[in-house]
Amino acid sequence: MPASVPVSRRTALRLLGGAIAVVSATAATASPAGAADARRVNQLLAQLTLDEKLTFLHGATDPAPLGQAGYIPGVPRLGIPPLRLSDGPAGVRVTAHATALPAPALLASAFDPALAREYGRVIGREGRALGQDVLLSPMVNLIRTPYAGRNFETFSEDPLLASDMVAAEVGGIQSEGLIATVKHFAMNNQEYQRQSIDVVVDEQTMHETELRGFEAAIEAGAGAVMGAYNKVNGTFACENPYLLTTVLREQWGFGGWVMTDWFAAHSTAAAIRAGLDMEMPDGAYFGDALKKAVTDGTVPEALVDRSVRRILNVMDRFGLLAPGGIPPRPARDAAAGARTALKVATRGGVLLRNEREALPLTGAAARSVAVIGPTGTVPFVSGGGSAHVVPDAAASPLDAIRVRAGKVTYALGEDIYGRVFFEHTIPAGSPVGYSHDIEVTVPQDDEWTFLVHYTAAHPDRPKVSLDGGAELFPQAAGYGEYFSGGLISATPDGLSVRRKTVALTAGTHKLTVTATAAQTFRLARITSASRAEDVATAVNAARHARAAVVFAYEDATEGLDRTTIGLPGHQDALIAAVAAANPRTVVVLNTSSCSAMPWLAHTAAVLQMYYPGQEGAAATAALLFGEANPGGRLSQTFPVSDDRHPVAGDPHRYPGVDGEERYSEGVDIGYRWYEARKVRPLFPFGHGLSYTRFSYSRLTAEPDGRHGLRVTFTVRNTGRRTGDDVPQIYVGPSPDLALPQPPVALAAYRRLTLAPGQARTVTLRVPARVLSSWDPAAHGWVLGTGRRTVHLGASAGDLRLSRTAEVH
Ligand code: BGC
């Protein structure tokens, strides 16, 4: 029989059949911000009227908004300050400028928890400096499907890596006095039907995959949790007693508060009973409706008190209720933010391919470079949606390359803003009701992309119809313009952009533009002739240079999943054409997640940079030219194609059928699925090359302390440059457990820097939790005892040494 592992006090109680008692806030004791003063909180609570209590439980309009997402007014009469809540995962999202940090997916690729803490500290300090009290970050939902629109905003497909990242980042954010909100609790792994999808998932899968990151955040002392939009096993996450009470409070001992995602509340009495504390951003359910429920006795006031106490407790932990006023706000340190942004982008960059040492660009290759692609000149700083940050400044990769290379040419290659053929400004004060017809001549049957660039927001933006038909650019259903993408949704001169591709027959067509408000707008087009011209110019530039660097993009945002892992537009054809013209073609990917690479075999090198933040250009150039040696590793598997990944070919698995989605892959998320099914990915989880090489030897694994393992091995830099390696330990299943188990699971890793010829002996500990499975019958963790295989590898697909060790 496997032994039970008392991983948390709550679980231990449960496994021993003990009475269910809420463990007092583990969170409070773990927090750098200290514990709440219960007496002070009780005194304040006793003085609050019901109306005042309710103001804590739902968002309100900020009388002095700073551009943040949410506001809680506080109670001035008792000296309780307001709370301002801002996004988000890649920097502080307010009206003012802030450090636009690299996307969390890039941070996770650095495999470096200390760097995640530094990242958190930048956001923590800036959040406080920019007038914020609560940060709506980090996002820790796992990368389960390659299509999910927010994969850039979160860390990884692997529960251990995600847990390490979130714990370190929460620690960093909160060490600066900003309250962190881990989101979106839970199973919010896609954007398609995110407001309603019902995720059907078994208890074991939930605990072993998605929930582990949340638990790590709670252990790290996160002050707040944001409930997800979706349902979990039939009940909305924001009113789900299993998630909000059984797991969060009883199993994990969470002492902070739970808020909804924005407009994710669905009920009053059911939600507060289930454990929801705060509705955001308004009070549709927790305002007047909650007051009525309390006054008519449907909801006991004690439940309101419970929620207010949770919020006040966290506020007090962070010094916000101190009699002398809130802790002083620091000044922004933009230079320090920029330094960290550069460091993260440099350390996170993943070199996927490097044939015949095409990179770094040195010697003749560095003296003559063709830079190609729209994101070569328009820096792709951050993704869209609530994670978009207004950067201090962002240089273009082209400029960063110019200062490092000899002769540099630039070609657009892929047009994302179109050739403008009509422009108009309706001045302020002019009569409303502008309407204009424009004739366009199409020389041959063709596919055209029409674009509109405009200044006025919905519903005033211009309406364009083709040949008297329906509007070309209607408001997209389900998400607003707020959620348009990070790069291609605006022109470099700041106009919003919409695009639509249509098949046109040869002849004359009529566009009708109507507008109702003062604004500037432009109409632009991309035709097969303009596309061919752009590719020909790029090929010509590549042919006349020693090296070609193609910047390829994929623009993602919350609120929207993509429908393919192929690069958007005609970029695949562009890359193939450039690679055919220049064997030293390097592709830099500014993408949200994995992508298919049909041109891969013809390229010399591929560098994955995701959305690299405001210092992305400098980081990319430093890696390309060898000022920095790439050490990032993929935090997610890159599949070969749309039909060879864990959710392919089964609509019940993704995107769901009749509003229901089944996590039938079970615990085999990410690389575990590829290993279990023997499907070869394009690039495995953990993969990443360096400009030097590393060898592994002398692997040993033995029992360590309380049910864990101690693993020791030697890493040697066998190349000619100093570089970083990330040796990874994976463990195989336990022979003693009858539960489903992944064929391999990441158990430990370490990023380390080695000089040429240098060797280091590394000892890593694999804790009992990593060797345990969640037993749904016992509702707790059970240790996977017996002889287990321990692998040492350079990625999940490159396991080089194996040993067995007894777990007991
Ligand atoms: C997003 C959250 C975000 C919130 C506030 C929601 O749509 O899902 O991640 O924190 O908006 O901006």
> pLDDT, tens digit, for every residue of 475-523?
664 444 545 556 778 888 889 888 899 999 999 999 999 988 888 999 9
Q: Is residue 655 part of a domain?
A: no
Nearest to 224 by CA among 114, 307, 327, 122: 307
**Domain containing residue 709: CATH number:** 2.60.40.10
Ligand 1 centroid vs 550 CA: distance in angstroms?
Answer: 33
378 shares its domain with 253: no
pLDDT above 90 covers a percentage of the chain that reads: 87
Q: 477 or 154: whose pLDDT is higher? A: 154
460 shares its domain with 437: yes
Report the nearest atom of ligand 1 relative to the CA of 88. Answer: 10
- Name the pLDDT band for 12 (thresholds 50, 70, 90): very low
State both tokens at 479. 């998400």
Q: Is residue 649 part of a domain?
A: no
Q: Is residue 330 part of a domain?
A: no
Ligand 1 centroid vs 137 CA: distance in angstroms?
Answer: 10
Report the nearest atom of ligand 1 relative to the CA of 139. Answer: 9
Partners of 232 in the β-ladder: 199, 235
377 shares its domain with 510: no
DSSP state at residue 356: G
> pLDDT, tens digit, for every residue of 204-243?
999 999 999 999 999 999 999 999 999 999 999 999 999 9
Ligand 1 centroid vs 226 CA: distance in angstroms?
Answer: 9
- Name the pLDDT band for 456 (thresholds 50, 70, 90): confident
Residue position matching structure tokens 């290659």:
413
Q: Which of 510, 527, 544 is at the close of a domain?
A: 527
- DSSP per position, 731-782: E---TT--S---S-EEEEE--EEE-TT-EEEEEEEE-GGGGEEEETTTTEEE
193 shares its domain with 56: yes
Quote the pLDDT of residue 518. Answer: 86
Quote the pLDDT of residue 33. Answer: 58
Nearest to 588 by CA among 389, 366, 397: 397
- Of all protein residues, the one whose alpha carbon is nearest to atom 6 of ligand 1 is 262
Q: Is the CB of 386 under 6 A from ligand 1?
A: yes
Q: Is the CB of 191 under 6 A from ligand 1?
A: no
Q: 401 or 432: whose pLDDT is higher? A: 401
72 shares its domain with 125: yes
Ligand 1 centroid vs 587 CA: distance in angstroms?
Answer: 32
Q: Are 348 and 342 contacting, i.e. CB atoms less than 8 angstroms apart?
A: no
Q: How many other β-carbons are positioned within 10 Å of the β-carbon of residue 23?
A: 18
**Which residue among 92, 136, 278 is best mutated to probe the pocket of ligand 1, counting the most ligand atoms within 8 A of its Cβ?**
136
Report the nearest atom of ligand 1 relative to the CA of 183. Answer: 9
Q: Is the CB of 665 under 6 A from ligand 1?
A: no
- Of all protein residues, the one whose alpha carbon is nearest to atom 9 of ligand 1 is 386
Give the full edge-to-edge strand order of the sheet including 419-426: 419-426, 519-526, 446-454, 496-504
Ligand 1 centroid vs 395 CA: distance in angstroms?
Answer: 28
* pLDDT surpasses 70 at 759: yes
| Torsion from C-alpha of 87, 89, 91, 94, nearest 10 degrees | -10
Q: Is the CB of 153 under 6 A from ligand 1?
A: no
Quote the pLDDT of residue 661. Answer: 97
20 shares its domain with 122: yes
- Of all protein residues, the one whose alpha carbon is nearest to atom 11 of ligand 1 is 262
Q: Is the CB of 262 under 6 A from ligand 1?
A: yes
* pLDDT surpasses 50 at 7: no
Quote the pLDDT of residue 485. Answer: 54
Q: Is residue 566 part of a domain?
A: yes
Q: Is residue 657 part of a domain?
A: no
Nearest to 228 by CA among 220, 236, 216: 236
- Give dist(CA 358, CA 360) in Å, integer: 6
- Name the pLDDT band for 26 (thresholds 50, 70, 90): very low
For residue 703, whether the previous peptide bond is cis, meaning omega lies within 30 degrees of 0, is: no
Quote the pLDDT of residue 180. Answer: 98
The total domain count for the chain is: 4
Q: Is 261 a catalytic residue?
A: yes
- DSSP per position, 646-680: TTTT-TTTTT-BTTEEE-TTTT--THHHHHHHT--
Q: Which of 274, 302, 325 is at the close of a domain?
A: 325
**Domain containing residue 601: CATH number:** 3.40.50.1700
- Give dist(CA 150, CA 140) in Å, integer: 11
Give the full edge-to-edge strand order of the sheet including 231-232: 235-236, 231-232, 198-200, 660-662
Q: Is the CB of 183 under 6 A from ligand 1?
A: yes
- Of all protein residues, the one whose alpha carbon is nearest to atom 3 of ligand 1 is 386
- Name the pLDDT band for 335 (thresholds 50, 70, 90): very high
Q: Is the CB of 558 under 6 A from ligand 1?
A: yes
* pLDDT surpasses 90 at 331: yes
Over the range 26-60, which residues count as b (16 or more CB within 10 Å of their CB) and which as e?
Answer: bbbebbebebbeeeebeebeeebeeebbbbbbbbe
Q: Is the CB of 198 under 6 A from ligand 1?
A: no
Report the nearest atom of ligand 1 relative to the CA of 386. Answer: 12
Q: Are 314 and 30 contacting, i.e. CB atoms less than 8 angstroms apart?
A: no
Report the nearest atom of ligand 1 relative to the CA of 188. Answer: 8
Q: Is the CB of 683 under 6 A from ligand 1?
A: no
Q: Are 600 and 579 contacting, i.e. CB atoms less than 8 angstroms apart?
A: no
465 shares its domain with 476: yes
Mean pLDDT, residues 688-702: 98
Residue position matching structure tokens 């429908």:
563
67 shares its domain with 185: yes
Ligand 1 centroid vs 661 CA: distance in angstroms?
Answer: 22
**Which residue among 72, 86, 87 is best mutated to probe the pocket of ligand 1, counting the most ligand atoms within 8 A of its Cβ?**
87
Q: Are 654 and 434 contacting, i.e. CB atoms less than 8 angstroms apart?
A: no
Q: Is residue 650 part of a domain?
A: no
**Which residue among 261, 263, 484 is best mutated to probe the pocket of ligand 1, counting the most ligand atoms within 8 A of its Cβ?**
261
> pLDDT, tens digit, for every residue of 364-378?
999 999 999 999 999
**Domain containing residue 434: CATH number:** 2.60.120.380
25 shares its domain with 123: yes
Name the average pLDDT for the chain.
93
Ligand 1 centroid vs 110 CA: distance in angstroms?
Answer: 26
Q: Is residue 673 part of a domain?
A: no
Q: Is the CB of 261 under 6 A from ligand 1?
A: yes
Q: Which of 527, 555, 580 is at the close of a domain?
A: 527
Ligand 1 centroid vs 555 CA: distance in angstroms?
Answer: 18
Q: 341 is in which domain, residue-wise?
A: 335-415+530-639
Q: How many other β-carbons are positioned within 10 Å of the β-carbon of residue 542?
A: 28
> pLDDT, tens digit, for every residue of 65-112?
999 999 999 999 999 999 999 998 999 999 999 999 999 999 999 999
Active-site option among 112, 164, 198, 261: 261
Ligand 1 centroid vs 261 CA: distance in angstroms?
Answer: 6
> pLDDT, tens digit, for every residue of 766-791?
999 999 999 999 999 999 999 999 99
**Which residue among 386, 484, 561 is best mutated to probe the pocket of ligand 1, counting the most ligand atoms within 8 A of its Cβ?**
386
Q: Is residue 671 part of a domain?
A: no
Ligand 1 centroid vs 93 CA: distance in angstroms?
Answer: 11
513 shares its domain with 540: no
pTM: 0.94
Q: Is the CB of 132 under 6 A from ligand 1?
A: no
296 shares its domain with 154: yes
Mean pLDDT, residues 626-637: 98
* pLDDT surpasses 90 at 294: yes
400 shares its domain with 446: no
**Domain containing residue 111: CATH number:** 3.20.20.300
> pLDDT, tens digit, for every residue of 645-669?
999 999 999 999 999 999 999 999 9
